[in-house]
């Protein structure tokens, strides 16, 4: 079997999305294909062809990813799939090979993704870099820890007014929270604010100087024996202050005809865990969220900020991208090749796991994913990579 790999033609995006649509059970449409092409153009996409048939795909958004110390360029990998008729033939591996080679040649030194089948991506050097939470809260138990009654100056607005207010709020937050990715106006309109069935509600929370928080949600109208048992699904609720965030959730908890409030993609340190009177009622469930791959180790480590003045030497394994193999000395915020003795030995996926601060080198050592070669090296590396905030990516891509 001869497989050809090349960017899809501009009129081939419906076929390009067929592998991922079949894998995920998504409906396909010309409108959806055009929307995807606006977000990821052909030169950032790779298709696998068996003759004239498009049988596999991968693509990469051009993002900025917030890391400790500031944003870095990042390829947001998406639409990775192979038709079920062409599995076990090395097509996925070759798609990953070509994609990482292209990113390396372009100087995009970090890649990230959400793993629908997590066992796949460790082989290619991706490490789980953050966890997120999902909640399912009975509305009649949605009470805060105190009895403070507060006004919620909330406004339901149209998408244009919402975008004008929400975008600067999001951009201010992403400067400070590792794991946030940049959103273009196209992304906001075609992904975040896409409302195909007219059920999305857009809420702004006003402060003395203008909007300081927002919420996006949908409701599902459900009745049992003439009793409302609807569900409110929170898409996103963000705010610039603790008071505004509390007001956003107060509004969401008070929507009528709702029995259950659901939300996903929440950070592990979400204030709700301390705000509500019965944290167990949140049914807070952990899931793996963002995976990170350092495409060019020296550039990626040098672009990150660090919490201490110290040095550590890594002996790094990276069989899939061998240009990263070897010893790296990280000192004064700069990573460079070295012949010095190594303090820690680990693989590239492990380094991806600690890059955002979602896991520690101590976690890796205890899991058998890294080896401490010099006494005290694990604690020293953890002091360097410490972050004040858990990483959080509030939207899947």
Please identify every residue annotated as catalytic: 121, 397
Judge whether 142 and 261 are in contact, CB under 8 Å: yes
- Cα–Cα distance between 59 and 90 in angstroms, integer? 18
Sheet hosting strand 4-6, strand order edge to edge? 4-6, 45-50, 53-67, 70-82, 110-114, 290-294, 127-128
At residue 160, what are phi and psi to the nearest 5 degrees? Answer: -70, -45
- Cα–Cα distance between 126 and 175 in angstroms, integer? 24
- Cα–Cα distance between 397 and 191 in angstroms, integer? 9
The residues that bridge with 137 in the sheet, in sequence order, are: 261
| Other residues' Cβ atoms within 10 Å of the Cβ of residue 287 | 10
The residues that bridge with 22 in the sheet, in sequence order, are: none
209 CB-near residues (< 8 Å, 6+ apart): none
- Cα–Cα distance between 111 and 109 in angstroms, integer? 7
Distances (CA, A) of 165 to 71, 201, 242, 277: 22, 15, 18, 31
| Burial of residue 219, with CB atoms counted within 10 A of its CB: 0-12 exposed, 13-18 middle, 19 or more buried | middle
The residues that bridge with 317 in the sheet, in sequence order, are: 347
User: Each residue of 253-278: b (16+ CB within 10 Å) or e?
Assistant: beeeebebbbbbbbbbebebeebbee
């Amino acid at each position: 079997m001869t497989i050809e790999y090349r960017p899809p033609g501009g009129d081939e995006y419906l076929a390009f999305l067929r592998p991922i649509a079949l894998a995920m059970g998504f409906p396909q449409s010309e409108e959806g294909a055009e929307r995807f092409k606006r977000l990821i153009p052909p030169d950032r996409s790779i298709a696998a062809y068996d003759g004239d048939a498009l049988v596999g795909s991968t693509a990469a958004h051009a993002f900025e990813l917030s890391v400790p110390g500031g944003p870095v360029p990042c390829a947001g990998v998406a639409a990775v799939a192979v038709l079920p008729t062409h599995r076990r033939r090395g097509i996925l591996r070759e798609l990953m090979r070509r994609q990482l080679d292209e990113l390396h040649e372009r100087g995009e030194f970090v890649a990230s993704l959400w793993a629908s089948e997590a066992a796949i991506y460790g082989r290619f050097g991706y490490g789980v870099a953050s966890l997120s939470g999902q909640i399912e809260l009975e509305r009649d138990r949605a009470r805060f820890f105190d009895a403070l009654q507060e006004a919620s100056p909330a406004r339901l607005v149209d998408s244009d007014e919402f975008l004008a207010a929400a975008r600067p709020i999001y951009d201010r937050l992403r400067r400070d929270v590792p794991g946030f990715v940049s959103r273009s106006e196209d992304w906001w309109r075609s992904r975040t604010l896409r409302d195909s069935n007219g059920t999305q509600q857009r809420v702004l929370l006003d402060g003395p100087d203008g909007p300081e928080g927002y919420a996006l949600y949908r409701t599902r109208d459900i009745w049992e024996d003439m009793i409302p048992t609807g569900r409110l699904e929170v898409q996103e609720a963000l705010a610039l202050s603790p008071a505004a965030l509390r007001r956003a959730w107060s509004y969401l908890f008070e929507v009528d005809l709702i029995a259950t409030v659901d939300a996903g993609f929440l950070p592990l340190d979400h204030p709700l865990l301390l705000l509500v009177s019965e944290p167990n009622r949140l049914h807070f469930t952990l899931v793996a969220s963002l995976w990170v791959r350092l495409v060019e180790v020296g550039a990626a480590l040098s672009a990150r900020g660090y919490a201490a003045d110290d040095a550590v030497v890594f002996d790094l394994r990276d069989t899939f991208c061998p240009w990263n193999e070897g010893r790296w000395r990280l000192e004064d915020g700069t990573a460079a090749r070295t012949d010095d003795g190594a303090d820690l030995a680990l693989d590239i996926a492990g380094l991806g796991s600690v890059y955002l601060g979602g896991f520690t080198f101590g976690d890796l050592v205890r899991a058998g994913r890294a080896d401490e070669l010099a006494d005290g090296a694990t604690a020293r590396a953890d002091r360097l990579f410490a972050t004040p905030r858990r990483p959080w990516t509030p939207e899947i891509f």
